[in-house]
Structure 1
Amino acid sequence: MIRRSLFTAALIFMGSLALAPKTMAQTVDVPFTGTVGGACTFGQVTPGSLAVNQVTNPTALAGGFSGGAFGKVSVTCNTPASVVTSPAVQTGGPAFTPINNTPLSAVRIAGSGSWTVGSPLQLNPGISLPLEVDMFVDKGSTLSPGTYNYKVTLTITP
C-alpha cells in the first residue's frame, strides 16, 4: 500500500510539473533622473576694520586706509557665478550723512589688485576663492569721536 501511495504521489508530482506553465526570467530597467542645481557656499567671515584717512582731521573711513583691514570670506561654487556687494550700511556709531549719500563698497579676489564696485565680479566654479571686501565712507567734514560700525552684504548669483 505504501508503494502504491508513493507511486501515485510521484505520478501526481510529475504530472503537475508537466502541466505547469514554463517560466522564463525577465528583466526590466527602471530609469532614474535627477537634477543638480548651481550652488555656492560662503566660508568663514573675517571682519574688516576701519581706519581714518588722516589722524589730525579725520573725515573718511575705509578698510583700505593705513591701519585698517579688508573683510575676508571664501566662496565655493559648483557652477559659474557672480558676486556683487551692497552699499555699506551703518549699524552703529555716531550717525551722519556721507557727502556722496551712500557709502561705497567693493569686492575682489584676494590679491588680484582689481576692485569691482557696483558691478558683478565673475567667479569660476570648482575652487575655493578667497574674497576681500572693502568699504569707504566720507563725511566731508571732521568725524565725531566714537566707534563706527558698518556692514556690507555680498550676494552670489549662480
Structure 2
Amino acid sequence: MIRRTLLASVLTLSSAVAFTPAAGAVTTDIPFTGTVLSVCAFVPTAGLLGTTDNSTALDSTATGGLAGIAVLTCNTRTNLTVDAPIQTLGPSFTPTAASATVSGNGLVNNVLSNLTGPAAPVALPIGVTTLNVNMRVVKDDFLEAGAYGYKVKLTATPQ
C-alpha cells in the first residue's frame, strides 16, 4: 500500500510540475527624444582702415588697411546679411558712398549704404565659414584729420 501511495504521490507531483504554466518573459521599449537647438557663433577680428591717395576715402583695401575677419560656426544652414558701415568714432561727416564687402568660401556680398539697406541674404552651409570683411566710406572732399572708427554688422539667421 505504501508503494501505491508513493506512486500516486509521484504521479500527482509530476503532473503538477508538468502542467504548471511557465512564467512568460515581457518586454517594453523606453522611448527617448531630444532636440538640438540651432546655434551660431561669430569670432570677430578687427580690420584696419587706410586712406586713399587723395584723402577722400577710408578703405580697408587701401595702403595701410586690412580686412576684418569673422569666423562663423553654425550647426544649421544659415542666411547671412551684411549691413553698411556705421561710424563709431571720429569727426562726423555724411559719406557720399559707403559699402561693405564680405567674401569667403566662394561667397561675395556687397552692401550699399543708405540706398537699399542690408544686401539680400546669402545662404551658408552647416559648419565653419571664414568671412573676410572689407569696407569703404567716401567723402566728397578731404577727410578731416583724426582717428576714425566704423563697424559692419553681420547677422547670421539660422534656417
| TM-score between both structures, scaled by the size of structure 2 | 0.72
Question: What's 2:120 paired with?
Answer: 119
Residue number among 69, 72, 77 corresponding to 2:69 in the alignment: 72
Residue number among 55, 77, 102 corresponding to 1:107 in the alignment: 102
Q: Secondary structure at the match of 1:65?
A: coil
Q: Secondary structure at the match of 2:135?
A: strand
Q: Does 1:90 align with 2:87?
A: yes
Contact persistence 1:84–1:107 (CA under 8 A)? no
| TM-fit CA distance, 1:109 | 0.6
Give the counterpart letter for 1:83 in structure 2: L
The structure with the largest strand share of the pair is: 2
Single out whichever of 88-97 and 28-37 deviates more from structure 2: 28-37
Question: What's 1:53 paired with?
Answer: 52
Give the counterpart letter for 1:74 in structure 2: V
Contact persistence 1:104–1:135 (CA under 8 A)? yes
Contact persistence 1:87–1:104 (CA under 8 A)? yes
| TM-fit CA distance, 1:134 | 1.2
Give the counterpart letter for 1:60 in structure 2: A
Count of paired positions: 132
Structure 1: segments with no counterpart, 5+ residues: 1-21
Question: What's 1:139 paired with?
Answer: 139
Per-residue CA distance 1:104-147 (angstroms, 9 max, x = gap): 2221116x484443222321113x21101111111111000001
Q: In structure 1, what is the Cα distance between the partners aligned to 2:144 and 2:110?
A: 30
Give the counterpart letter for 2:61 in structure 1: G
Contact persistence 2:99–2:110 (CA under 8 A)? no
Per-residue CA distance 1:7-65 (angstroms, 9 max, x = gap): xxxxxxxxxxxxxxx9655332221212223322223x2100001111xx311111112
RMSD of aligned alpha carbons: 2.3
Q: In structure 2, what is the Cα distance between the partners aligned to 1:135 and 1:121?
A: 18
Q: In structure 1, what is the Cα distance between the partners aligned to 2:31 and 2:102?
A: 45
Give the counterpart letter for 2:86 in structure 1: V
State the identity as a percent: 40
Question: What's 2:5 paired with?
Answer: none
